[in-house]
Chains A and B, each alone.
Chain A
Amino acid sequence: MSTMTLNAGEAVPAQKEATQPVAEQTEVKSRAANPNSQVDGTVGSPFCDDAKLRMRNVNVFYGESQAIHDVSLDIGRNQVVAMIGPSGCGKSTFLRCLNRMNDTIEGCRVEGELSLDGEAIYGPKVDVVPLRARVGMVFQKPNPFPKSIYDNVAYGPKIHGIASRRAELDEIVENSLRRAGLWNEVKDRLDKPGTGLSGGQQQRLCIARAIAVSPEVILMDEPCSALDPIATARIEELIDELRENYTIAIVTHSMQQAARVSQRTAYFHLGKLVEVNDTETVFTNPEHDLTEAYITGRFG
């Protein structure tokens, strides 16, 4: 804990007086004049009424070291929530808790209450297979399977037994590719390997693959970090379209991207959730000094 505080001190050179008002719901006790002091709670509005995903007092440990400290957050239905913060602040770790991808990491331990539509994600009887079908994921690096484009998209429906007939599967594949905005580019080469596409196309293929199983939530872990601005713009458009049907949590290093695609933004700092607010508020009038320091580019 003490090292965390120390690191915070190094990372935040700003010496700034905090003047913003304290948000109502959180138990923000002290926002000391010196932002170097440890973050005691979350400011802003981490909770919402129509929550798809509800996280309360989440702590994540990698062996002995704690990566996430007491994070509470709601992700609203059909909402895009962006998670921003400097590298190593735990936003990806937090994201991966939501579909239990952290289970695969040796020595990773998750504490706290996480629920999807009121059902505990880490409940003793929860099977990760249907959970991950409900909570899809798109990764930082495009990672299509070394199979044909068709098989990439059809893989999820196949393993979950969603399509009963070939025609039905064809339809799912086409719809998913259309929704990912890739259909026109690949419809003539569905049998060609997915790895032969360009980076942006590969990432859209991964999105098509994720939505092929009709998930309720899509988690995106820096989906555009390996892409050029044009491909990024394409993906961002796509995210905006997808919002109608899906709840999306996106981790991003690009603050502009967070500002463009999300309705709410959560700022993480050294494993703690510092501030959650409407995206506009975060970027125009941040409550916490650390948030302001980060979005104005003083560190990160």
Chain B
Amino acid sequence: MTDLTQSNLTQKQVRERIEARLASRHRKEKIFRGFGIASIAFGVLAVLVLFTDIISKGSSAFVQTDIQLQVTYDPAALGIETVDEESLAWANFDAVIRNALRERFPEVTGRRDKRELYSLVSNGAGFELRERLQENPQLLGKTETLWFNADDDVDTYVKSLSKSKEGFLGRTSEQKAQWILALRESGELEKRFNTTFFTNGDSREPEQAGIRAALVGSLFTLLVTLVLSFPIGVAAAIYLEEFAPKNRWTDLIEVNINNLAAVPSIVFGLLGLAIFINFFELPRSAPLVGGLVLTLMTLPTIIISSRASLKSVPPSIREAAMGMGASRMQVVLHHVLPLAMPGMLTGAIIGMAQALGETAPLLMIGMVAFIVDVPHGITDPSTVLPVQIFLWADSPERAFVERTSAAIMVLLAVLITMNTCAVWLRKKLERRW
């Protein structure tokens, strides 16, 4: 005791030694802080680069080049006399479009040139016409001016004009470019908001391809995942944390849950393929199966985070409730769960975000199939946003490049919306307590 307090050092010497090290201590602290700032700066920079890249590439997908044509619903060209279901089915609407194009450019002759001319407009234009006539049968024989989606090559060329003077021709011939410029000059060609992108499903033609089917598919899949994984995960966590005896079996379960959280997601895909599709014979490519697989994948995350938030509820609350004669279930439902809920929600949202961005397991259960229709239920074949992104990124057409980025933007928007909801929900729940 005396040795320590009354060592050979005088107070002055002690002070000097402290002073001597002070500068290096401050320096170290500065470096430490600098590292922190540098890491954050790096993170922010990465996010900024990512966002600028995606937005600069993808924003052009939200506009689409349209061409104005004066179409005549000529019964002769259509090959029909009255408007009814049967006649509409085999009416030749493409001929109407071709006539309109020929009228606009009467100077074009020759088979090849004409074919070139017809390719100005998307080959989906005929379907648009059919829908219009179906809704307004009185239009038969009349003439009206309509806007049609231009072909994706036209679209690419027109959009590239804003970047360079010559523009990117690609598959577009010089002659076609002349026509495009002429149309643009006269105001019969302009860039308009791309509604198709938000109303259509996937298509081989970029100008007809939309995100709707994938978005709806993703929402259905997430719905299944949330409905299954949140209650099961929370129930499992509550049982393990509040009711289960602590013995070798529960230890084993805990270790396995932690291991499951680290299993590569594709393995869950294989499991889903083997069990849900091959054994239970559930439909392929369906959000139901996708949701089941993603449930298996997100369950460990939800269980682990729910247990952590249950653990963080002070034991004094449990004791107080128990001391009042509350049954164990009442203790959990009235006191522990409301306090743990915000933490559980955070875990669930992390799990959902993970599930939303998951591609690999869904490839295994057939959600990578080319699906054009927007799903109407959880058993309809569908695809999901990340798989759609993967498919488009794989497509050779140039116009899919911007659509890929646009789809990423939609995915991010869904993510941000989800997280905002979660934060809002947390705030609301926390305020109540």
Q: CB of A97 within 8 A of chain B?
A: no
- How far, in Å, is A39 (CB) from chain B's closest CB? 30
- Distance of A131 Cα from B321 Cα, bound (Å): 14
Cβ-defined contact, A147 with B433, below 8 A: yes
B316 CB contact (under 8 Å) in A129, A133, A143, A147: A143
Cβ-defined contact, B317 with A139, below 8 A: no
The interface stretch among B131-139, B174-182, B322-330, B420-428 is B322-330
Q: CB of A159 within 8 A of chain B?
A: yes
Q: CB of A210 within 8 A of chain B?
A: yes
Number of A-B contacts (CB under 8 A): 63
Cβ-defined contact, A145 with B325, below 8 A: no
Known: A106-B246, A159-B330. A146 touches B317 (CB 8 A): yes
Q: CB of B29 within 8 A of chain A?
A: no
Cβ-defined contact, B323 with A129, below 8 A: no
- How far, in Å, is A242 (CB) from chain B's closest CB? 16
- Distance of A143 Cα from B323 Cα, bound (Å): 11
B245's nearest neighbour on chain A, judged by CB, is A106
Cβ-defined contact, B325 with A133, below 8 A: yes
- How far, in Å, is B427 (CB) from chain A's closest CB? 16
Cβ-defined contact, B322 with A155, below 8 A: no
The interface on chain B, measured as residues whose beta carbon lies within 8 A of the other chain's beta carbons, has a size of: 20
Q: CB of A136 within 8 A of chain B?
A: yes
B313's nearest neighbour on chain A, judged by CB, is A146
B433's nearest neighbour on chain A, judged by CB, is A146
Size bin of chain A's contact surface = 20 to 34
| Interface mask (A81-123 → B, CB under 8 Å = 1, otherwise 0) | 0000000000000000001010010100000000000000000
- Which of B318, B323, B327 has the largest number of chain A CB atoms within 10 A? B323
User: Which residues on the A side are within 8 Å of B324 (C-beta)?
Assistant: 132-133, 136, 155-156, 159, 209-210, 213
Q: CB of B335 within 8 A of chain A?
A: yes
User: Which residues on the A side are within 8 Å of B339 (C-beta)?
Assistant: 146
Cβ-defined contact, A143 with B246, below 8 A: no
Residues B173-206 near A (CB distance < 8 A): none
- How far, in Å, is A132 (CB) from chain B's closest CB? 4
| Interface mask (A134-151 → B, CB under 8 Å = 1, otherwise 0) | 001101010111110000
User: Which residues on the B side are within 8 Å of A13 (C-beta)?
Assistant: none
User: Which residues on the A side are within 8 Å of B321 (C-beta)?
Assistant: 145, 155
Residues B127-157 near A (CB distance < 8 A): none
A139 CB contact (under 8 Å) in B245, B319, B327, B433: B319
| Interface mask (B299-340 → A, CB under 8 Å = 1, otherwise 0) | 000000000000000101111111111110010001100010
- Which of B314, B316, B318, B339 has the largest number of chain A CB atoms within 10 A? B316
A151's nearest neighbour on chain B, judged by CB, is B334
Q: CB of A206 within 8 A of chain B?
A: yes
Q: CB of A130 within 8 A of chain B?
A: yes
- Distance of A211 Cα from B196 Cα, bound (Å): 68
Residues A190-241 near B (CB distance < 8 A): 206, 209-210, 213
Cβ-defined contact, B327 with A129, below 8 A: yes
- How far, in Å, is B181 (CB) from chain A's closest CB? 70
- Distance of A186 Cα from B324 Cα, bound (Å): 21
Cβ-defined contact, A159 with B326, below 8 A: yes
Q: CB of A160 within 8 A of chain B?
A: yes
A99's nearest neighbour on chain B, judged by CB, is B323
Cβ-defined contact, A132 with B323, below 8 A: yes
Known: A143-B317, A145-B335, A146-B433. A137 touches B246 (CB 8 A): no
Cβ-defined contact, B316 with A141, below 8 A: yes
User: Which residues on the B side are within 8 Å of A136 (C-beta)?
Assistant: 323-324
- How far, in Å, is B242 (CB) from chain A's closest CB? 10
User: Which residues on the A side are within 8 Å of B317 (C-beta)?
Assistant: 143, 145-146
- Which of B245, B318, B324 has the largest number of chain A CB atoms within 10 A? B324
- Distance of A159 Cα from B328 Cα, bound (Å): 12
B246's nearest neighbour on chain A, judged by CB, is A106
- Distance of A160 Cα from B326 Cα, bound (Å): 8
Cβ-defined contact, B320 with A206, below 8 A: yes
A134's nearest neighbour on chain B, judged by CB, is B325
User: Which residues on the B side are within 8 Å of A99 (C-beta)?
Assistant: 323
- Which of A99, A106, A132 has the largest number of chain B CB atoms within 10 A? A132
Known: A145-B335, A147-B433. A139 touches B320 (CB 8 A): yes
Cβ-defined contact, B320 with A145, below 8 A: yes
User: Which residues on the A side are within 8 Å of B433 (C-beta)?
Assistant: 146-147
A interface list, Cβ under 8 A from B: 99, 101, 104, 106, 128-133, 136-137, 139, 141, 143-147, 155-156, 159-160, 206, 209-210, 213
Q: Can you show 8 pairs from A to B with CB atoms below 8 A apart? A: A104-B322, A133-B324, A136-B323, A139-B320, A145-B321, A155-B334, A159-B325, A209-B320
